[in-house]
Amino acid sequence: MTAPTVDPPLSPVREGLDGPGLALDLDRVAPILEGDDLRRQLEVTALRKRFPALARRVNGQRLVYLDTAATALKLDGVIDAQADHYRSSGANAHRGMHRLADEATTAYEQARERVARWVGAARAEDVVFARSTTAALNLVARGMEPRLRTGDEVLLTEMEHHANLVPWIQLAERTGIVLRHIPVTAAGELELDGLDTLLTPRTRIVSLTYVSNVLGTINPVAAIAEAAHRHGALVVVDAAQAVGHLPVDLAALGADLLVFSAHKAYGPMGLGFLVGTEAALDQLEPLEGGGQMIREVHLDRATWAEPPLRFEAGTPDVAAATSFVAAIELLDQLGLDRVQAHDQALTGYAIDRLAAVDGLRLLGPADPTRRGGLVSFVHPRIHPHDLATILDEQGVAVRAGHHCAQPLHRRLGLSASTRASFGIYSDRDDLDALVAGLGLAHRFFA
C-alpha cells in the first residue's frame, strides 16, 4: 500500500506562528529542496519547537511521542497562557465586580465564543464547559434520565470507549432502558446494513464515536444521524479522537450533542466540552448543584439558570478555558484539512512499515483515508505491555492495553493491543524509530 501524499503539505511555519527567532519562510526555501518529503520534514521540525516536552530525552534517547490519542503534548502558547492567568490575575469568573474578576469573566466567555465558532455551534451559549469528555457524557446520560422510561432504547456501537458505555450501562441499571449496539465488522468498520432494524420506535438516543480510539475508523456519523433523526432519536457524538485532527462541525455531523476534550487537541487537561443545539441542551437536567448554576434558591427549593450556566456548578477552570484558545488558533492557522491529510500520510506509512513485520496483526481499516491518525497492532509472541516497556527503553512512547475499550477487544478476540498515535509534531522518523524498536523487541523475545 502506498501512503497518500499531502498536497498541499502541512505548513505551520509562517511568521508569527512559531515565535520570535523561529520563523522559517518555506516558500523561499522550498525551491532549493527536492521532493515533498523533505519540505514536510522541515515544516514538522520547525513546528516541534512549539512543544517543550519534545526537548526531553528518555533513557538517553530522543523522545518519540506516539501517544497523542491518550493525550496530545501541550503547545507552548497554552502553557504560557495558563501561567499568565495565574501571574497576572488568578481571579474567579462570574464571581465579582472588581477589575480582576471582570477580566477573568471576559476572557472565560471569549473562550466559550471561540470554541463555539470552532465546532460550528449556533451560539456561544450552546457551549458547556465540563471537566472532560467523560464528564460531558455522564452529564448527558444523567441529564436525560428524567425523560426515559423502562423499555426505551439507547443505540451505541461495539467500538465505543468506556466513557460512552459505562454511563449508559449505569442508566440502564437505574431505569430499565434497553441498550443496543451497532456491530463492528472484521475490517474494523460499523456494520450498517442492519441499522434500520436496530433503530426502532423506542429508540430515544443514538450515541457513538466519530473516530475510534482503537481502530482509527472514521465513522459515517452524518448518515447515521440522518437515520436516527427519522426515528426521532437524539444524536450524541463523541469527538474526543476527532478534534485537532480533522474538521468537526456540529451541524455538518447532524449531531444534537457533541462532546470532546481540550487535552486531545494540544490544550490543557481537565477541560472538556458539551456542545449542542439549544433544543437538545434544554432537555437536559443538571448533573451537579451548587453555585453558579441557579436562578433562585430558597431553603427548600431552587430553580436553574439557562444553559450553559445550568451545567457549570462551582468554580470554573478559567486558566484552562482561556489557554485552550492558543491551541485552536494554531490549528486554524494550519488548517484542519491539511492536518487530517498529514495524519493520513503518516497512517499510510505506518501501515506499510508495520505490515512488513512478520506476523504482526494490524487492527482497523486498511485504507488510511478512512482512518484517523493512529494504528493499533498485535505482535504474535510479545504481549503489548512487554512491547511498550521495550519501546520505552528506546524513548518511544506508545499505549498498551485495552485502551478503555474492553468490549471491542473482546469482539476482536483480544485482551490488549499496542497503539501508536500521531500528532502535528509527528513524522516518518518517529515511525521508523517505532519499527526499529519492534525489531529489538523481536530479537529480545526470539
d(CA 165, CA 156): 8
Supply 375's cell numbers. 494504528
d(CA 322, CA 345): 32
Selected catalytic residue, list 3, 404, 414, 436: 404
- Give the closest residue to 351 by CA, choosing from 420, 425, 445, 424: 420
Using DSSP, state whether 264 is helix, strand or coil: helix
Q: In the annotation, is 336 catalytic?
A: no
Using DSSP, state whether 375 is helix, strand or coil: strand
Residue 363, beta-bridge partner list: 376
Amino acid at 341: A
CA distances, 10 to each of 137, 211, 288, 372, 428 (Å): 33, 21, 42, 16, 14
- Give the closest residue to 218 by CA, choosing from 247, 251, 257, 256: 247
What letter would DSSP give residue 246?
S
d(CA 117, CA 346): 29
Q: In this structure, how many other beta carbons lie within 10 angstroms of the beta carbon of residue 141?
A: 25
Burial of 21 (C-beta count, 10 Å sphere; 0-12/13-18/19+): exposed
Contact in structure between 216 and 375 (CB atoms under 8 Å): yes
Using DSSP, state whether 201 is helix, strand or coil: coil
- Give every strand in the sheet of 153-157, ordered side by side: 127-130, 272-276, 257-261, 234-238, 203-209, 153-157, 178-182
Helices (H), 1-144: 26-29, 36-48, 76-88, 99-118, 133-144
CA angle, 311 then 314 then 319, to 5°: 100
d(CA 135, CA 178): 22
Total count of residues recorded for the chain: 446
Helices 318-334 and 99-118 cross at an angle (nearest 10°) of 40
d(CA 9, CA 144): 44
Residue 208, beta-bridge partner list: 237
Residues serving a catalytic function are 404
